[in-house]
Chains A and B, each alone.
Chain A
Amino acid sequence: MSWRKKKAPCLGVAALLATGMTFAPASHAEVSGSATAVSDYRFRGVSLSDGAPAAQADLNYDNPAGWYSGAFVATTRLGAQPQARLQWLPYGGFARRLESGASIDVGGSYSGFTGGNRLGYFEANAGITTDDWSFRLNYSPNYFRGEVRTLYAQFDASHPLGSTVRLIAHLGDLQLLSGPPQDEGAIRQQLDVRAGIAARWSRVTASLSWVSADRVASVYPIQSYYGQVNGAHSVWVVQLSASF
């Protein structure tokens, strides 16, 4: 195994640890995290785990002034890049609460994958979040290194059903703004939806949701050499998460 192949996971772990270590927690800073098991890692409606279960973890730091940073890691199985077994995603930005109680934030993230591939990409995002819903725009100049500019708009909502259970919903729209793939028939827009129910007991959250994408945009590195896309476009996903 070459040094290059080992570099990416080291960076991922470093990024994860950095959120808690490089910022000495201020007296009223907030450090939180979670560990998650999911039956299928659906990223914007597309399975990044080839329809198989995946493990995820995240760590988040909130500065009292509004700065935040964090890191997310997830196990992956990509048909076109079988070496990419781990996604690591450091992120950061600035958030501010409005007088109404809603929050607005701007930030960026870098999504990298292990395995010496060239999939890592940067994405800028801006959004508004209330206690019931959020709307966010995500722009990438080179989504999955596919030499395409993308804009992903997402609307997420939740509605409490008592103190333990809440309904969750998500609608996303990915637009390939420019660049390859130029092939005729290439899919340049993709919609994804997610609807389900989540329940929280103390620090444990469980959810069951139905996830669907109307198609798979050509930019995702999930097709095998023979062009086969594994996994159905619609699937029920079970998720179990523990926060700390």
Chain B
Amino acid sequence: MIASRPLLCLSLALMGHALWAQAPAAAQPQIESRQVLVMLPLAPAHFRPDADYSGAYDAGAGRESRRRAAGELARSYGLSLKQDWPMPALGVVCYVMEVAQGESVDEKVRQIARDERVESVQAMQSFQALEHNDPMFAAQPSAVRWHLAELHETATGRNISIAQIDSGVDLNHPDLSGQVIEASNFVDTSGYVPEDHGTAVAGILAARADNGMGIVGVAPGARVLALRACWQTTNALARCNSFTLAKALQFAIDRRSRVVNMSLSGPPDRLIARLLDVLWQLGTTVVAAADPAAVDGGFPASHPHVLAVRAEEESPGADFEGVDALAPGHDIPTTLPGARWGLVSGSSFAAAHVSGLVALMLEMAPAMGPQQVRSALSLDRRPVNNVRPSPVGRIDACAALGRVTARRVCRDTAATRVVSLR
């Protein structure tokens, strides 16, 4: 296996050309540093005699009235109104307003928070995907560690919907063909574009099996909702903000996604936290990448209703505050835009592994809620190469699926001493 790494690396390099370098550049939204999110109450939909009224919050009825109220509020604080998005899951409409140059954003937030017309207000915050922006490393098929082929004899995540909140996915990639059931762009109105990070995560989640090319996703039977809430910057990193993420989360709520994958991290965010609470109540399992550079794993990984995942290869000597589980996240072969494949590393991709595994578990036990999923995920804390990995533990995928199905899933694994997440 070790000898094959340079060959695989070379072949991937040939397929991938210049990795991370050639994805289409997406239009970057306005700088968010001067923007605030103002939440105004949204009246619940109800009977109206208009013939065309169907209850859609964005379909006209009340929209102009709400916009007018938001415009008046913006003017009263010297702000300019930029965008709006209804979030019926929270009973609010979220308005993006921009603070004038020379004025303090924090001071505006404090002032607006005292306004009784306002449900809540916060500053716009930035998030970024957790990947290494490094050249390719030698390849090591992570599927081997999880006995993926044997897992797929039991489950493939069939009909489980995974909302992937990320940058754009290459919907025409041959290894992802037919795997994405819906794609929406929450970044801008310029159309859905394929990007590196989103395409890489989608491949790990649900790349097609047995199609004679590329890789196999952890849950090739799952249905992916590719929600573009992040955009690729010029240095190939993916960035997002509070507004784009909240819109995508509302969409995931609307579609009743069973799993939400958030391979990204940033500062604590009240609006996003509230939407995560709604997902928890609806029985959705949210998996997020834990940021190795953040003391508590960063947000949303630090949220109590989120399963925080880090790459198991980052274990030795690392601080694991706020991390729930470790999963493969280093040298992961996956899909890239333009019918390419390449190697990726980072907590983002560890989280994608766990989201895929959760889809397999939910196929076998559809009634499981996020707390039950958390309990069924089994951790293996045995040392690897005599190095004790961490106080957290790697996910034992065979044991996790075995616990859900109440039978032995993988044939050639030694009996493992596993523990459950809290």
Residues in A lying within 8 Å of B, measured CB to CB: 27-28, 30-34, 36, 38, 41-43, 56, 58, 60, 62, 64, 66, 68, 70, 72, 89, 91, 93, 95-97, 99-103, 105, 107, 109, 125, 127, 129-134, 136, 156-158, 160, 163, 166, 168, 170, 194, 198, 200, 203, 205, 207, 209, 237, 239, 241, 243-244
Closest to A163 in B: B189
A134-B61 contact in complex given A97-B91, A101-B88, C-beta closer than 8 Å: no
The answer to whether B44 touches A66, judged by C-beta atoms less than 8 angstroms apart, is: yes
Mark contacts of B88-106 with chain A using CB atoms, 8 A cut-off: 1 yes-contact digit, 0 otherwise: 1101000000000000000
**Residues on the A chain within 8 Å of B66, using CB:** 30, 32
Complex alpha-carbon distance, A68 and B282, angstroms: 28
Tell me, yes or no, whether B387 is within 8 Å of chain A by CB: no
Tell me, yes or no, whether B2 is within 8 Å of chain A by CB: no
The answer to whether B52 touches A131, judged by C-beta atoms less than 8 angstroms apart, is: no
A58-B65 contact in complex given A97-B44, A158-B59, A198-B59, C-beta closer than 8 Å: no
Mark contacts of B35-53 with chain A using CB atoms, 8 A cut-off: 1 yes-contact digit, 0 otherwise: 0000011011111111111
A243-B47 contact in complex given A64-B41, A101-B253, A207-B52, C-beta closer than 8 Å: no
Complex alpha-carbon distance, A33 and B65, angstroms: 8
Known: A32-B66, A72-B48, A97-B91; 7 extra A-B contacts, CB below 8 A, are: A58-B50, A95-B44, A97-B88, A133-B55, A136-B47, A157-B54, A200-B59
List 29 interface pairs A-B (beta carbons < 8 Å), by A numbering. Answer: A28-B40, A28-B117, A34-B61, A43-B51, A60-B62, A66-B43, A68-B46, A91-B48, A93-B46, A95-B46, A99-B282, A100-B89, A101-B88, A129-B46, A129-B55, A130-B55, A131-B55, A132-B254, A133-B54, A133-B55, A134-B54, A156-B53, A158-B56, A160-B56, A203-B60, A241-B50, A241-B52, A243-B63, A244-B65
**Residues on the A chain within 8 Å of B56, using CB:** 131-132, 158, 160, 166
**Interface positions of B from 266 to 311, Cβ below 8 Å from A:** 278, 281-282
Closest 7 pairs (CB-CB, A-B): A62-B43, A129-B55, A32-B65, A103-B44, A105-B46, A95-B46, A129-B45
> What DSSP secondary structure best describes chain A's contact surface?
strand
Tell me, yes or no, whether B116 is within 8 Å of chain A by CB: yes
Interface size of B by Cβ–Cβ distance < 8 Å? 41
